[in-house]
Amino acid sequence: MWNIVFMYLKAFIVGGLICTIAQILINTTKLTSGRILVVFMLAGVLLQSFGVYEYLIDFAGAGATVPISGFGYLLAQGAINGAKNGLYGAITGGLKAASAGITAAVVFSFLVALIFKPKSKIH
């Protein structure tokens, strides 16, 4: 019982810390949300290229894989594993590793666009 509570607590703290850093960047810099997302994704790639992000995932589980930095980790890990099969594997490995998430994002975005009527924020 306490192992499960501790696991959820670790995930909440790490995921919350990642989101807190993003919110601080939004509040204190002139970076757009899109640029901050790219920075976090590239941070996940960079941390995994040095083998650090995997330790964070082992510690926090979903608290480290759900944020966008986890997507960067997934791309980097796929490219690293694919590189064992040569340059083509390194190029396609990241997309192969992330294909389920990318497909889900595209399909659910399409379904939501069919259900809801988009409105422009500019009046």
Residue 42 lies in a domain: yes
- Say if 119 falls within a structural domain: no
Q: Which long-range contacts (CB under 8 A, 24 or more apart) does 80-89 make?
A: 80/48, 80/49
> Residue 121 falls within a domain, yes or no?
no
Q: Is the pLDDT of residue 95 over 70?
A: yes
pTM: 0.75
3-state SS class at 51: coil
Helix 68-82 to helix 33-49 angle, to the nearest 10 degrees?
40
Q: How many domains does the chain have?
A: 1
Sequence-distant (≥ 6) Cβ neighbours of residue 65 within 8 angstroms: 57, 73, 74
pLDDT for the residue numbered 51:
87
Q: What is the mean pLDDT of residues 29-36?
A: 90
**pLDDT at residue number 66:** 85
DSSP 8-state assignment for residue 121: S
Note down the domain range covering 50. Answer: 2-114
